Amino acid sequence: MNIEKQYQEDHSVKLIVEVDQEKMNTYKRRAAIKISTRSKVPGFRPGKAPYEIVVRTVGEATVTEQAVDLFIDSEYSNILKEADVNPGAAGTLESVDSLEPPKLTFRIPLAPEVDLGDYHSIRLPYEWVAPGEKDVEAALEELRQMYAATENVDRPVEVGDYVLLDANSETPELKRTGFATFVRSEDRDTEWPYNGFAKELVGLKAGENKTIQHTFPEDWEVEELKGRSVEIGITVKTVRGVILPDLDDELAKKAGAGDTLDALKETVKKDVEKRSQDEYDDKYFVELIEKIKEGATIKYHAHTVEHEGEHVLSDLSNRLAQQNMDLDTYFKVRETTREKFIEEEVNPVAKKRLERGLLLDEIVRKEKIQIDNTALEAEYNDTLMGLAQQGMDFSKMRGGKKGQKQLSEAIAMESASRVMTRKALDMLKSIAMGEYKPVEEAVEEIKEETVEEVIEEAKEDVSRVQAENEQEKPAE
């Protein structure tokens, strides 16, 4: 075969393959046998009709078409190998340019390529500061709220109360019957129908009414409310006050954080610190990876983004299924189409995820990062424990033992991916902080430390033996 390579701007390659006529004739004869096996050729048993008879019966074009299919099935991997092409997805037969001599043109998406650039010169200080005592105290108060009891109260609404109300308005989107809300001291983006609504209820008693006027901004997320000034008639039905539990040993036991208040405080402190550091790390590594990306060159075919987009859409579908909703319903609620949603929301996320993954994969490859079996086992067990706490019963899985095995393999793969990602991010962090040491240098330091330890131990042994010998000498 004679193969000409033409690299394309979309990170694909065009292969123009000239096939030896003798080789194509061999495939044409195989094609004739296959056709005669599947089709009836008068006067011949299946697969026994001579080549010329098959050609006259079904036509030269049919035999040639079948021969090309057989050639591709058999020779495609050899073509890629001979052309030294690393494909990123299945290629396509773009055209049959001629039959005498046989010339075929293939278009193959190439595997992604990453050049990290001088990423070792990037610096980004890591400036996380552990939360103070006030943050821990706030978390303890939140815990008290979680274990609080409520009771009906005959007094005006206060911050910290639960209120059951009816909301009436000429605007359908603002009508609610038996709506429950919590009066928080701080605003939240998720509050209905707008931030600060619940505070408007402070001072009202059960049975009292109030008309609230509000103007929604032009960029409000609900189309029907954008830029509108509305009136909402409120009727308070019930006011329930919160009875907070004491911060004591009993609360610690209820929360499963030990038997004492000190143990509870220590657990909450660690949790607050972890959440704070996780939040900082998310922002830190996003910024760090963006810095690396600025100096890197990443090439990939559009098909690779499409493939990643399928994963993004699948993840969304799984999350929606937990809320008893499918994608079509979700698109209707969002007033969009599948195509528009993929274009405007899925593809940008897929592109970010893809490029981040490609960068980290290249870091792993270049720095020769190895999987840590101890960390992998811990991650795997943590995932299993988390699923069990969510109520998953592994003994009742679909597919029995086969289903359990498939789930186990999926969890193992996901755990391995998370462990490798963490190791890669830790490596990048050490580089950005100027603390990086090549693997070989780190190994040498360990060896040197080990040698020094052996020498020190040997000196101690010698000193001990000398001391013992001195004690055993007979007195003169």
Phi and psi angles of residue 471, each rounded to the nearest 5 degrees, phi first: -70, -30
Cis omega (within 30 of 0) on the bond before 193? yes
The answer to whether the beta carbons of residues 268 and 99 sit under 8 Å apart is no
User: What residues contact residue 441 under an 8 Å CB cut-off, 6+ apart?
Assistant: none
Q: What is residue 46's predicted lDDT score, i.e. its pLDDT?
A: 85
Token representation of residue 30:
């195989």
Mean pLDDT for the stretch of residues 341-363: 94
Nearest-angstrom CA–CA distance, 344 and 197: 32
User: What residues contact residue 180 under an 8 Å CB cut-off, 6+ apart?
Assistant: 162, 163, 164, 165
Mean pLDDT for the stretch of residues 309-327: 89
E-assigned strands of 200-321? 209-215, 229-243, 297-299
Mean pLDDT for the stretch of residues 416-437: 92
Partnered with residue 219 across adjacent β-strands are none
Alpha-carbon dihedral of residues 48, 52, 58, 62, nearest 10 degrees? 100
Nearest-angstrom CA–CA distance, 379 and 412: 9
Task: Count other Cβ atoms within 10 Å, centred on residue 375.
Answer: 16
Q: Over 80: is that where the pLDDT of 113 sits?
A: yes
Q: What is residue 408's predicted lDDT score, i.e. its pLDDT?
A: 84
Q: What is residue 457's predicted lDDT score, i.e. its pLDDT?
A: 60
Token representation of residue 130:
């552990």
Nearest-angstrom CA–CA distance, 156 and 202: 7
Mean pLDDT for the stretch of residues 150-172: 93
Share of the chain above pLDDT 70, in %: 92
Considering all CA atoms of the chain, what is the largest pairwise distance in Å, rounded to the nearest integer?
Answer: 123
SS3 at position 444: helix
Residue 372 vs residues 385, 437, 443: alpha-carbon distances, Å? 20, 18, 16
- pLDDT digit string (tens) for 436-471? 877 556 545 544 445 455 556 655 655 565 555 555
User: What residues contact residue 50 under an 8 Å CB cut-off, 6+ apart?
Assistant: 44
Q: How far apart are the first and last CA of the chain?
A: 99
- pLDDT digit string (tens) for 353-394? 999 999 999 999 999 988 888 988 998 888 888 887 777 777
Mean pLDDT for the stretch of residues 201-217: 95
Sign, Cα dihedral of 181, 182, 183, 189: negative
Local confidence band at 475 (pLDDT 50, 70, 90 cut-offs): very low
Q: Is 180 left (phi over 0), alpha (psi -120 to 50) or beta?
A: beta
- pLDDT digit string (tens) for 15-32? 999 999 999 999 999 999
103-112, 124-133, 222-231, 403-412, range with the lowest pLDDT: 403-412
Q: What is residue 159's predicted lDDT score, i.e. its pLDDT?
A: 92
Cis omega (within 30 of 0) on the bond before 438? no
Residue 224 CB-density burial (10 A; 0-12 exposed, 13-18 middle, 19+ buried): exposed
